[in-house]
Structure 1
Amino acid sequence: MRQRGEQPTFRRLQRAAAAGEHRLEVTVLNRDGAVATSDETNWLSIWPLDGSDPAGTEVDNGHGEGSLPAGDYSLNAEVDHQEADGTWSRTIIWLPKVTVTGDVSLTLDARTANPVQVTVDKAGARPAGTEVDLVQRIAGRRRHLTGTFGLAGDHLYVTPASAEGGTEYEVQSLLTQNGKTEGSPYAYNIASKAAGVPADLTLSARTKDLAAVKVRYASEGRPGCAGAHAGVDWGTGSVLSFYWGAGAVPTTRTEYYTPGLDWLRDEALTTADCAFDENDIRTRTDRFPTAGAYTRSWNKGPLGPADGRLILDTGNGTGFSAAMLSERGALSNIRRYSFLKGDSALVSLSGESIGQSVVPGYGRIWARPEPGRYTLTTNATRSAPWSDLATSQHVVWDVMVGQDDIIKLPTVEYRTALDDENRAPANTTQTLTLTLQQAKAGVKPTLWTSFDDGESWTPVSVSADGDRWTASFRNPAKGFVSLRTKIDGAVDQTVIRAYGLR
């Protein structure tokens, strides 16, 4: 499971009544009707409906109290409870509007909640993870108030709520073969949302109504293991996603998605033992507009930099980032780890160092450069045990600093026919497509290939193909093909071992 997005900070209520404020007392009951223990619930969240910062109070053995000024508030608490059959349940109790004009005493009863149920029409498919989110429009802004999740065998419950006041209920679930997170030949990612919290919380889907995505998990030439997450971006700034293991690569699997939603998906490639101690991660957002057949892939080369930015005012100096191991349509994570090392530097034309870092594709807290022309260089060397590709990268940007706070750095994205181990046939003609990202319109790239890991380079002619460029050349008899592309006055990027040969 992975959660993204900024989480709010809650101030603690003063327990004693403050001058001009009122006492709030809350009793929380579990699903058996007994006063909840501190192990079952320990916090009450309080959101002022005027848009002020959220607050909260500790719940001690089912009792919470605090001091509040007059006003309208949204309250929620979560209750964990062991059921009679030994399984665990999680209940969200939500009161979207509580008006405080004097002292208030409330009872939050988990027995008033209804069960969340998830089904698909695939025999043997069981939930491996289910998430519920509650959203409310507060002071004109959609706010993610709370959410909870359950893994295989857990039970979720939510109290009903009307749609008044801009309340929303969002639910998503991952279903796999028997609910397992490893080795399932398929994965169902289904989701829905509703105004308010309906009494019937059944989420069901038919396979024919979903996007059926044939996903190829490629290897990068060496034994490896892949795992993935998927979660809906509901537009609230918080995304939770569930994990499933694809296993040894290369492999192909069918994944089903509710169409019409923005699915934030990521994939990690690690060592063959699936340890995930260190890995490469790539992320993309997919929206499948309608039900039907689609194809996608992960780990398909050639890999290279993407989404480069020089941010001159981060609020804490000048920063730089570029996703150095990106593939077509998916951005890599930006970091330095034991298998990826290098450096980055921003230098003036006179040789003055503006900033340096020991991380490839990343730098921060540099001095803001004066207007003028600069060179931004990043180097990356890679020795990952799951990959024999992109073993070295060297990228040089010509940067003109003016008044803009954000400078987008041009890169070149490659596309070519490779098998599921990122190999191409030896001694055959290879066609390469080049797409210029964040580059000025009308510029033409220059391309070179190398068959000896960059010791020597051969120029290759390119031809315009709409808004892209294409080139053809003959692969050598063995080894790897390296690529270098230059856009005059913008970028010179080199990747050693862009793909291998078979």
Structure 2
Amino acid sequence: MIKLPGTLTFYRTPGLVWDSGLEIDTHVLVDDGEAVRPGHTSETWNTAVAGPSLSRGGGSRTGDELVFAGGGLFADGVAGRAGTDVSATGTVTLAGDGKVLATSEITDCLIALPERCELRAELPAEAASYTLRTSMSRQSVLSTKVEAAWTFRSSRTAKRRPLPLMAVRCAPDGLDDANRARLGSLTRLPIWVERGRGAGPVKPLRLETSVDDGVTWHAVPVAESGSGWTALVRNPATPGFVSLRVTAQDGSGGGLTQTIVRAYAVGPAG
């Protein structure tokens, strides 16, 4: 156990794949494992923005049965990680043709036991459009409420197939050890998308920010950058928080609206 922010040193045998994780109260983060090479490497954990990740999968359909684990909404801002918060509570809902087909109240979610927070639904065999929505809230400084709403088409499968979902990941530059930006500063916000198998290429994103916990939203320009996008977010001149809402569409007709309330903080250095 260490006091945060803090540094921990591990000595690991090279040539093996090591899994890493971090547990902060009820918030648990894990990675996909990494082969260790000789020499010194460093990792940073619990960086903003905590939000949805598809590193551990994003649901599937087998025949006419859809299965989706809705609790993986609190990965930190590093690719290849997943995260849950046992204390978070929320709902997963599947709708089709304007009607709710299945809903599940979720809490006490664990990465190792995804069935605790699963939604299951029997669907018609023919191709149809669906909306899958998950929302969770928690008592925390950041990412106090995370929502994701996907639209996609699906039909009967001959074998298990992943749902064609995506997750938007963000990692603000220049935050301090408490995930705070300076008052009145500009924060560079790299953005990338994790795509499940079957999701098409992502079209231009729409990014909005809020400084009043989602009461009002303001559009922020986004520019393509490498394999992702970059935005410059103007932070408020008074202490508070910046919330993020991203809307994305893919080439297969699927879509995502993802909202993270209190994605990162803004304030004087502590």
TM-score scaled by structure 1?
0.46
1:499 aligns with 2:264: yes
Distance (whole Å) between structure 2 residues aligned to residue 290 and residue 264 of structure 1: 14
Q: Tell me the CA shift for residue 282 of structure 1.
A: 1.2
Corresponding residue for residue 280 of structure 1? 27
User: Which structure 2 residue ranges, 5 or more long, are not aligned?
Assistant: 110-116
Alignment of 1:366-381 (within 5 A): 366-370=121-125, 371-381=127-137
Distance (whole Å) between structure 1 residues aligned to residue 21 and residue 259 of structure 2: 26
Q: Which amino acid aligns with 2:260?
A: V
Equivalent in 325, 328, 334 of residue 74 of structure 2: 325
Is the 8 Å Cα contact of residues 354 and 369 (structure 1) preserved in structure 2? no
Equivalent in 42, 52, 65 of residue 295 of structure 1: 42
Distance (whole Å) between structure 1 residues aligned to residue 232 and residue 215 of structure 2: 21
| Higher Cα Rg, which structure | 1
Distance (whole Å) between structure 1 residues aligned to residue 247 and residue 230 of structure 2: 14
Distance (whole Å) between structure 2 residues aligned to residue 311 and residue 441 of structure 1: 19
Distance (whole Å) between structure 1 residues aligned to residue 69 and residue 204 of structure 2: 25
Q: Which amino acid aligns with 2:39?
A: G
SS class of match (2:163): strand
Paired residue total? 241
Distance (whole Å) between structure 2 residues aligned to residue 435 and residue 487 of structure 1: 11
Equivalent in 390, 394, 401 of residue 143 of structure 2: 390
Corresponding residue for residue 354 of structure 1? 101
Distance (whole Å) between structure 1 residues aligned to residue 223 and residue 6 of structure 2: 35
Distance (whole Å) between structure 2 residues aligned to residue 442 and residue 358 of structure 1: 30
Q: Tell me the CA shift for residue 289 of structure 1.
A: 4.7
Is the 8 Å Cα contact of residues 356 and 363 (structure 1) preserved in structure 2? no
Is the 8 Å Cα contact of residues 312 and 368 (structure 1) preserved in structure 2? no
Distance (whole Å) between structure 1 residues aligned to residue 73 and residue 124 of structure 2: 24
SS class of match (1:290): coil
Corresponding residue for residue 313 of structure 1? 62
Q: Tell me the CA shift for residue 396 of structure 1.
A: 0.6
Is the 8 Å Cα contact of residues 304 and 326 (structure 1) preserved in structure 2? yes
SS class of match (1:463): strand
Distance (whole Å) between structure 2 residues aligned to residue 283 and residue 474 of structure 1: 31
Equivalent in 227, 231, 244 of residue 483 of structure 1: 244
Distance (whole Å) between structure 2 residues aligned to residue 388 and residue 479 of structure 1: 11
Q: Which amino acid aligns with 1:280?
A: H
Corresponding residue for residue 77 of structure 1? none
Q: Which amino acid aligns with 2:62?
A: D
Change (3 A) 1:296 1:455: same
Is the 8 Å Cα contact of residues 149 and 256 (structure 2) preserved in structure 1? yes
Q: Tell me the CA shift for residue 299 of structure 1.
A: 1.1
SS class of match (1:309): coil
Distance (whole Å) between structure 1 residues aligned to residue 119 and residue 147 of structure 2: 19
SS class of match (1:354): strand
Is the 8 Å Cα contact of residues 63 and 156 (structure 2) preserved in structure 1? no
Q: Which amino acid aligns with 1:434?
A: I
Equivalent in 393, 397, 402 of residue 155 of structure 2: 402
User: Which structure 1 residue ranges, 5 or more long, are not aligned?
Assistant: 1-244, 271-278
Distance (whole Å) between structure 2 residues aligned to residue 314 and residue 344 of structure 1: 21
SS class of match (2:53): strand
Corresponding residue for residue 469 of structure 1? 229
Equivalent in 66, 82, 92 of residue 344 of structure 1: 92
Corresponding residue for residue 213 of structure 1? none
Equivalent in 252, 255, 264 of residue 10 of structure 2: 255
Q: Which amino acid aligns with 1:331?
A: A
Q: Which amino acid aligns with 1:311?
A: S
TM-score scaled by structure 2?
0.83
Task: Provide the identity percentage.
Answer: 28
Is the 8 Å Cα contact of residues 259 and 287 (structure 1) preserved in structure 2? no
Distance (whole Å) between structure 2 residues aligned to residue 363 and residue 253 of structure 1: 34
Is the 8 Å Cα contact of residues 303 and 390 (structure 1) preserved in structure 2? yes
Change (3 A) 1:393 1:301: same
Change (3 A) 1:306 1:369: farther
RMSD: 2.1
SS class of match (1:253): coil
Corresponding residue for residue 427 of structure 1? 184
Q: Which amino acid aligns with 2:21?
A: D
Equivalent in 200, 212, 215 of residue 440 of structure 1: 200
Distance (whole Å) between structure 2 residues aligned to residue 442 and residue 343 of structure 1: 27
| Superimposed CA distance per residue, residues 111-166 of structure 1 (whole angstroms, 9 cap, x where no aligned partner) | xxxxxxxxxxxxxxxxxxxxxxxxxxxxxxxxxxxxxxxxxxxxxxxxxxxxxxxx
| Superimposed CA distance per residue, residues 75-133 of structure 1 (whole angstroms, 9 cap, x where no aligned partner) | xxxxxxxxxxxxxxxxxxxxxxxxxxxxxxxxxxxxxxxxxxxxxxxxxxxxxxxxxxx
Q: Which one has a larger percent strand, Structure 1 or Structure 2?
A: 1
| Superimposed CA distance per residue, residues 219-276 of structure 1 (whole angstroms, 9 cap, x where no aligned partner) | xxxxxxxxxxxxxxxxxxxxxxxxxx2x221111222222221111221101xxxxxx
